[in-house]
Chain A
């Protein structure tokens, strides 16, 4: 790709190690998009609604895709999805769950609330790179997305 893909990825995960691996895997998988990170559902909601430290939109742009962990302190992933889908302007943001926990009920609940994809966190970095490569190919290339204006 000649032009830089500026579609923003927002990572929501409380585990610092997992975020290190995720960024490494994204880099290896050729995902060069601007990436931001929040630590929990509360941070995610604040980021999206431009509250607190996120008032300035310029350094905190609206994401194209959210990589969301489910088990986070305070506001968990489920609550975050529910909130996001209630906001008309965020209804079409791509939410990809990336969770270390994947009980059948959790998967069902995530989709029912409006997640677009559910991925399990792999243990091996190599597998995480493969996974991020799939994410890049599918969500950033193959998939036709109904872009909302604020995401352009």
Chain B
């Protein structure tokens, strides 16, 4: 060996020995260490002699050995030029050290087996930090997933409950009607078939029982309609308001005549986006109220018309009735809320609640202008065509 070559070798040895990272030569055939520096010894806790008696595999944590050998084979067969891997290693004291290992083939020398130079760095601290971060993240992800699952479960249970409540309400209402029918039926038969056994007071009492039974039946009916309005699937579409209004006025013809009412409709009314049955319920209730809530002796004057805006239609129902004081205008839409005594203005207190529920289901609006003693003007506002997806969603989940 001549001088410059010796110098290079000396430089290499120094660099190899003094490097702040672990350096090792590995025999590619056997996997044995053929040269290690002191940092290697320091990191693993093995002496140089011990390391030189080991293969690189002996240093890898048993759990990772299989994978590590695969990587090593790839490197040896030349499929991977830049070899940089992270493996858990086992130190002499049994502790695990995470190491990043970068390797390069060493130029082959005549008569020498193929070797690689491995640079080994202890990354245990970084790994520990990463692990801690992961540990912190896992429960958070788990928690989020668990939360989501719990929400889904509870929603499903809630839907189930609502469904069974609906069924329950319906069958309660239905079963309540049978005894109401019986009360009403027997009382009317008593009055009719046994009048001679009853004095006037007795007959009066029976009439009151009948009236109470009728009222109870109205209540049950309204609740059934309200319940159906709340939970039935309502496919929306374009609705011809004229046809609906004609039907309502036909149904109310007797009442209109009896009250000597004048109903003025500005035909034709604009078509709207909605559901025919719901719209019928809404309009029928508004018109019924307009007929009902007039001062004694006053003939109801009702005007019905529609006004079109760019995307919406307002349908107005205006009356000359007793009106509603501004302070009460919110209350009237609550179920069972009544502003007037039931003797003068009989009713169940469900009508306007039905209107409100119906309007909600259609994604529409309801409002009124009224002064006490000066009549009321109710309006509902609907879209002309299918509204954008967002408002559709509120409708279907309402």
Interface residues of A (CB under 8 A from B): 15, 17-18, 20-21, 24, 71, 100-101, 103-104, 121, 123-126, 128
Contact = CB atoms under 8 A, between A and B. Distances in A.
B174 A125 contact: no
Interface in B180-215: 180-182, 184-186, 188-189, 213-214
Most buried by A among B181, B184, B186, B189: B181
B69 interface: no
B167 to A, nearest CB: 10
A17 B181 contact: yes
A24 B188 CA distance: 11
B213 to A, nearest CB: 7
Contacts, number: 42
Given A24-B189, A103-B170, A125 B177 contact: no
A104 B170 CA distance: 13
A21 B185 contact: yes
B189 A123 contact: no
A38 B326 CA distance: 58
Contacts of A20: 185
Interface string B165-182: 000001000100110111
Nearest to A22: B185
Contacts of B186: 17
B217 interface: yes
Nearest to A24: B189
A123 B177 contact: yes
A123 B177 CA distance: 8
A103 B189 CA distance: 29
B180 A123 contact: yes
Contact of A124 (B170, B178, B188, B232): B188
Contact of A21 (B174, B177, B181, B217): B181
Given A123-B180, A123-B217, A101 B174 contact: yes
Given A123-B213, A123-B217, A18 B181 contact: yes
Given A103-B170, A123-B214, A18 B178 contact: yes
14 contacts: A17-B178, A17-B181, A17-B185, A17-B186, A18-B182, A20-B185, A21-B181, A101-B170, A103-B170, A123-B181, A123-B213, A124-B184, A124-B214, A125-B185
Q: Is the interface of B mostly helix, strand, loop or mixed?
A: helix
A128 B182 CA distance: 12
A104 B231 CA distance: 13
Contacts of B174: 71, 100-101
Nearest to B179: A17
| 6 closest Cβ pairs, A-B complex | A17-B182, A123-B217, A21-B185, A125-B188, A101-B174, A125-B185
Contact of B188 (A15, A17, A126): A126
A100 B177 contact: yes
B178 A125 contact: no
Interface in B217-238: 217, 232
Contacts of A21: 181, 185
Most buried by B among A24, A121, A123: A123
B170 A100 contact: no
A123 B184 contact: yes
Contacts of B177: 100, 121, 123
A121 B184 CA distance: 13
Nearest to B177: A100
A97 B147 CA distance: 50
Given A123-B214, A124-B214, A15 B178 contact: yes
B189 to A, nearest CB: 7
A128 B185 CA distance: 10
B191 to A, nearest CB: 10
Nearest to B213: A123
Contacts of B170: 101, 103
A100 B188 contact: no
B228 to A, nearest CB: 8
Nearest to B181: A123
A121 B181 contact: yes
A103 B225 CA distance: 10
A18 B186 CA distance: 10
B185 to A, nearest CB: 4
A138 to B, nearest CB: 20
Interface string B3-16: 00000000000000
Contacts of A15: 178
Contacts of A124: 184, 188, 214, 217
Contacts of A24: 185, 189
Nearest to A124: B184
A147 B105 CA distance: 104
A104 B185 CA distance: 26
A97 to B, nearest CB: 14
Contact of A100 (B181, B184, B214): B181
